[in-house]
Amino acid sequence: FANYCMATERNIILPVDGSDNSARAVDWYVKNAYRKTDKIYLYYVAEPPTLTSVTLVQPLQVPFEDWQKSIESARNHVKELEKKYIAQLYEHGISANVEFLEETTKEVGHAIVAKVAELNVSMAVMGSRGLGKLRRTFLGSIS
């Protein structure tokens, strides 16, 4: 039975956001729960960028250039996060069975819960947003 439990592939989701708490959660998983048979999903959920509808420079035109810059910046941010977390796992000797997933939605918590169900996840490991107790009390926390 013990050999069966160790050999069973698990789907693990690590929701990440670029914060120190997120990096610590990945480290915690690697040091305390990682198995070589795990399929690891690094999952980044972004809120959509705020796009202005007018600018003061050209108030009668839609600011397509500003939108393009904002969207390109968001894409670059996601690429950097993917590199960061793949490298973090690689530093621990983990390079197989790792996939980086991303999604954009205003409902971050719901997206994480839906992805857990979709992937039939065995374990989700995530850090908190890094808010202090007072701010977390008033603002709440997804984790």
For 22-48, what is each residue's pLDDT tens digit?
Answer: 999 999 999 999 999 999 999 999 888
User: pTM (2 decimals)?
Assistant: 0.78
Three-class secondary structure of residue 27 per DSSP: helix
Measured distance CA(101)–CA(85) in Å, rounded: 12
Asked whether residue 142 carries a pLDDT value surpassing 60, the answer given is: no
* pLDDT range class, residue 7, cuts 50, 70, 90: low
**Contact partners, residue 116, CB within 8 Å, separation at least 6:** 13, 124
